[in-house]
A and B are shown apart, each in its own frame.
Chain A
């Protein structure tokens, strides 16, 4: 209880509240612009967080993360273009409703479902913290180096398995990210790994340089070489509050979807897409009119929005509890933890329990603030859709420079960021996923760090899996691999 009040108290400062406000409203605006997702905003903001207090930084990034999907629903519903990639499913039913003349109803339902999904996972997280907090303090003793190594390995396996049709590419890019992470001089043994006697490479690649290059610069190049979209004019008539009442009619769908979002958010490497996939499929199976799905079914819209907004709070769980980020955005947030000197992991329940409460309460405030902003100013935010995307590309390029240069005043960093940006651009052109590179970078370093730290206890191969947690996780890895291979073979046989 003390931690709870301390957590609330942490938030009661002007810088934190300002960060919540800026993050939420900024995230909404960023989400509403098609082509600019939260990853780019977070990549650009990351270097700025070095100059801010750790809680302020995290709350700012959480604001962007938590609110961008709300914003992303606006263009998805109004102009059939998802604001962020995870709003793709929202277009199916949201835009169909707009074409029926029900844009306001669709937006209102999307807000209500998003709010429900967001609050559902936050309240679940807070309840778990309050109920199991005292027990979670013992988690540190339960999780050793080998257990966290195994959790990171599970995250890597799940990441590849989740990219159903691009598993080879995901594995390749994960390997590439992993390789980028190990370049440099190994501090303990002074061994240079792939440095080719280049002085710049001795400390290794800076995580932010790679992230800004891969996400922000690549997107800028993608926008700059593309054409400005000419979105149709969208009319918005009617109130936006009625969806909150209407959601009552779709309670089972909302609960199940939020549940899927929470579970999939907790599992590393899975995230919003799989959550949406399950939620949408389940909602369609539960519906009395499954044929309406994809043609303006409100339950389809609710399934999509409730599930993807339940993910951010849930995705914080593996990050905070194990120090293992489950997807790209939380991987970027790891950088803030590194800078702040806070080690996310099982010990955090013992050392900084108030910090956890602060983060979850901040997310709750963000959700409330975002919905209030949307109810008041959707019409204004909707105008952001019409900002020319190529112009945005030019300004992302300018912002990327600040992001990269400010880390360590290095022009070489900027050159490497440009190189990574070009690589990311080609990946985007080919429709290859970018997330495995970042997770390869982060999970790869965690895996090697933990394995090396635990090497003293590893006499034989069995020592890797003879602890309760690592053994269980290893079995889960085997099951995931088995199921993935089985379903792949079955799909291939079916297709042939």
Chain B
């Protein structure tokens, strides 16, 4: 009995031991990072991070905002509903026998406010339920002395706004300088800002930006702004050429 138990223990020890290279004969401390062992459930894993509570509160505010405006922004004022709604629903579900002709449910469904009502019925409870989860996660973090400050996370969100500003600036630059020039500027300036500097990176980025313009504007003839300030300053022939191809 004992030897059988030893054999099982040995077997499991062999099974759990780090695997060794079959090809080169060199061993690794671990065949793959420990955190990635076998737990297939990890694919669905989710942990609330810092900032989750802040965003959950924001989402509740969004849901309540739409709830507050439901009555004025969805055609609710012009609703056509049966006089006694409680009785109507009881009739609908057969709890009570309808007196006279039962108003068609379809008439209610096709009114403008019905779809927003369905949305609100999903959005508000889900936002509150999510806030509850976020709050509990925050309490858990506090209880077990995990970092709870959200400053770092919010800072990351604000950092992204810089690149949103780049995008907006690019959007505003296109009608002034044209798609080609604006793309070449953004395609080289943004990588420079990111730290890809020097002639090699500049050439790569310049070529890539030019290729994008060639493929999308010259090749696929995708619509871009036509009244370009810079093109208006060019001689007639060149202006037409630039407008057609770039």
| A interface with B by C-beta (< 8 Å) | 47-48, 51, 80, 88-89, 91-92, 95-96, 99-102, 163-166, 168-169, 171-172, 174-176, 178-179, 182, 186, 188-189, 191-196, 217, 220-222, 224-225, 273, 276-277, 280-281, 284, 289, 291-296, 388, 390-391, 393-395, 397-402, 405-406, 409, 411, 414-415, 418, 421-422, 425-426, 429-431, 444, 448, 451-452, 454-461, 463
Contacts and interface: CB of A to CB of B under 8 A. Distances in A.
A451 B222 CA distance: 36
B32 A295 contact: yes
Given A96-B32, A193-B75, A295-B31, A390 B194 contact: yes
Nearest to B104: A459
Interface residues of B, number: 98
A140 to B, nearest CB: 22
B46 A102 contact: no
Given A225-B156, A395-B212, A430 B122 contact: no
A191 B24 contact: no
27 contacts: A80-B32, A99-B21, A99-B32, A100-B31, A166-B46, A171-B122, A172-B129, A182-B119, A189-B112, A191-B78, A221-B164, A222-B160, A225-B160, A276-B40, A284-B40, A291-B15, A292-B15, A395-B208, A398-B170, A400-B167, A401-B174, A402-B217, A405-B171, A406-B224, A431-B49, A459-B104, A460-B105
B112 A175 contact: no
Nearest to A417: B167
Given A101-B23, A165-B44, A182-B116, A391 B109 contact: no
The A interface is mostly helix, strand or loop, or mixed, namely: helix
Contacts of B170: 397-398, 401
A421 B74 contact: no
Contacts of B205: 391, 394
Contact of A425 (B39, B157, B208): B157
A195 B157 contact: no
B82 interface: no
Given A165-B45, A178-B122, A463-B106, 13 more contacts: A172-B127, A193-B73, A194-B116, A196-B69, A225-B156, A397-B190, A402-B222, A406-B223, A411-B171, A414-B167, A448-B114, A455-B104, A460-B105
Interface string B31-63: 111001111110111111101100100010011
A217 B167 contact: yes
A451 B109 contact: yes
Contact of A175 (B44, B122, B208): B122
B37 to A, nearest CB: 5
A326 to B, nearest CB: 18
A409 B161 CA distance: 24
Given A48-B220, A429-B51, A165 B102 contact: no
B9 interface: no
A459 B220 contact: no
Closest 5 CB pairs of A and B: A455-B106, A191-B112, A294-B38, A175-B123, A101-B23
Contact of B122 (A174, A188, A390): A174
B196 interface: yes
Contact of B46 (A165, A293, A459): A165
Nearest to B109: A455
Contacts of A421: 164, 167
A179 B166 CA distance: 29
Contacts of A397: 163, 166-167, 170, 186, 190
B127 to A, nearest CB: 5
A419 to B, nearest CB: 8
B19 A100 contact: yes
Contacts of B149: none
B38 A92 contact: yes
B191 A394 contact: yes
A481 B28 CA distance: 46
Looking at A192, A217, A280, A398, the one whose CB has the most chain B CB atoms below 10 A away is A398
A399 B187 contact: no
